[in-house]
Amino acid sequence: MEPINIAVIGLGNMGLLHSKWLKRSDRYRLIAVADVDESRTASVAEEGIRAFSSGSALLRSKAMRASLEAVLIATPHYDHTVLGIKALNQGFNVLIEKPISVDKRDAERLLAAHAGTNLVFGAMFNQRVHPAYRYLKDVLQAETFGALRRFSWTITDWFRSQRYFDSGGWRATWSGEGGGVLLNQSPHQLDLLTWLFGSPNAVFAECGFGRWHAINVEDEVHAILKYDHGVTGSFITSTGEAPGRNTLDIVCDRATLTFEMGAPLRIQRNASSITESIAKNGPFEKPAVEIEEISFEGDGGQHRTILENFAQAVRGEAPLIAPGVEGVSSVELANAMLLSGGSGQVVQLPLDAGRYRRWLNGQKRSEKQKGKTGKAATSGSVTDLSGSFGT
């Protein structure tokens, strides 16, 4: 396959990591990078790789328009929409880091820019390639263990200290990041939730806005999700808990499945279905249970696999694992949880995007009055995340 000419916009933690991998890949030719911090572009740029001071400057470049095929956007959240639309309008294939946008209205603008084109638009939802989640996707679709009854996901191993949030005025602000744990740490789980179970039709959430840290945004969320086919789900996440856990429980009519990250998938299989047992068993007679454990090899390649798949999609060799159009579902769900937590009300889905935007703007105004600017980071150190790509 002829290498794809690609540019990376945004050289923070993930952008630098992606750039390093793209340099080594035989599927891509990294020809440009962009970041407002010149030291970051200097660390990546070399012969054959042009450096730009902004994503907009890169996208306006005549040289880039003549040779560039794809853009990977790894900027602060609010820029995902703006730069994504510009790149699509210029005719470039686009891969965007999570979340694709801060709110549903912006996500819909991004999708509208892509609609009617033949361009490939992907999202960096790398957890979809984990073999455990792919197994769960298959058995849920096939109803291997009967109809889904409920699920519960606790993802609280995101512990962050106050120093983390104090490291930049943009961190944990409505104006800088658009939210807290739901927008920063948990987008992958929200994507998996909608990918595995679909979107709910109603959400009620309690959000701890600065419950454990001196911040304005949410650092803990407890949410109940209601589906029109009678399924109920719960979702708990926090950056103020240690050691925390990442555990997904799925109850089907004939089995309960439990997956905790780093452990085998545990399947408790009922000898008779719950529905049948309720109708026929004695007053205290539970169905007999057989326990099975399934171990999975590796993590599916994570970011590397998504990048390889994106290249295949651009060349027409494979469908996308994580189409950008599907990214709106996790954004909508995060917005619904925040709106419910902020209003104390049940929020119906599809979400009223205008209502959420008005609420978000109110949070920004309140934040501004408190003196936090929420400006995106322009410089500073980055974290070594090389393990995310494997070896």
Give residue-wise pLDDT tens across range 38-50: 999 999 999 999 9
**CA 95/CA 55 separation, integer angstroms:** 14
Same domain for 161 and 121, yes or no, is no
Determine which helix (DSSP H) or strand (DSSP E) holds 164, and give its type and residue range. Answer: helix 162-166
Report whether pLDDT(381) > 70: no
Say if residue 20 is in the same domain as residue 160: no
Contact yes or no for 33/43 (Cβ under 8 A) = no
In a shared domain, residues 253 and 176: yes
DSSP β-bridge partners for residue 208: 220
pLDDT (mean) for 219-238: 98
Specify the DSSP element, H or E, that contains 194: helix 187-197
User: Domain range for residue 183?
Assistant: 128-299+330-369
User: What local confidence, expressed as pLDDT, does residue 373 receive?
Assistant: 55
3-state secondary structure of 203: strand
pLDDT surpassing 70 at residue 376? no
* Phi, psi at 19, each rounded to 5°: -60, -45
- Cα separation, 11 vs 309, in Å, equals 22
Query: Model confidence over 117-138: pLDDT tens digits?
Result: 999 999 999 999 999 999 999 9
Considering the domain boundaries, does residue 82 fall inside one? Answer: yes
**Is the pLDDT score of 384 beyond 90?**
no
pLDDT over 70 (residue 372): no
Distances, alpha carbon 357 to alpha carbons 204, 221, 290, 325, 361, in Å: 18, 20, 49, 20, 6
For residues 157 and 79, state if they share a domain: no
Give pLDDT, residue 374. 52
In a 10 Å sphere around its CB, with 0-12 CB exposed, 13-18 middle and 19+ buried, how is residue 67 labelled?
middle
Per the structure, the count of domains in the chain is 2
> What pLDDT, in 10s, does the model give residues 253-281?
999 999 999 999 999 999 999 999 999 99
Q: Domain check: are 17 and 159 in the same one?
A: no
Same domain for 196 and 287, yes or no, is yes
CA 216 – CA 239 distance, rounded (Å): 14
Least confident of 114-128, 155-169, 207-221: 155-169
Percent of the chain clearing pLDDT 90 (strictly above): 92
Q: Is the pLDDT reported for residue 74 higher than 60?
A: yes
- Mean pLDDT taken over the chain: 95
229 and 110 co-located in one domain: no
Q: Which of 282, 380, 387, 388 is nearest to 11 (CA)?
A: 380
Count how many residues are written for the chain. Answer: 391
Q: 247-266 as b/e, with b when 16 or more CB fall inside 10 Å?
A: bbbbbbbbbbbbbeeeeebe
Q: Which among 12, 6, 156, 159 has a CA at the least distance from the CA of 77?
A: 12
Residue 215 resides in a domain: yes
Same domain for 209 and 251?
yes
Closest to 205 measured CA to CA, from 220, 224, 186, 191? 224
Exposure of 125 by Cβ count < 10 A (0-12 exposed, 13-18 middle, 19+ buried)?
Answer: buried
Q: What is the C-alpha separation between 232 and 86, in angstroms, rounded?
A: 39
Share of the chain above pLDDT 70, in %: 95
pLDDT digits (tens, 9 = 90+) for 318-349: 999 999 999 999 999 999 999 999 999 999 99
Domain CATH code at residue 142: 3.30.360.10
Residues 92 and 198 in one domain: no
Same domain, 210 and 347: yes
Q: What is the CATH number of the domain that holds 117?
A: 3.40.50.720
Average pLDDT of the residues in 273-302: 97
| 376 part of a folded domain | no
Mean pLDDT within 292-308 = 98
Q: What is the pLDDT of residue 192?
A: 99
Asked if pLDDT for residue 391 goes beyond 60, the answer is: no
Count Cα neighbours of 35 within 13 Å in the Cβ-side half-sphere. 27
Looking at the predicted structure, is the pLDDT value of residue 377 above 70?
A: no
pLDDT of residue 380: 43
> Which band of pLDDT confidence, cut at 50, 70 and 90, is reported for residue 370?
confident
Residues 158 and 32 in one domain: no
87-101: per-residue pLDDT in tens? 999 999 999 999 999
Neighbour count for residue 96 (Cβ, 10 Å): 26
Q: Say whether both 168 and 272 belong to one domain.
A: yes
Residue 278 lies in a domain: yes
Residue 77's pLDDT is 96
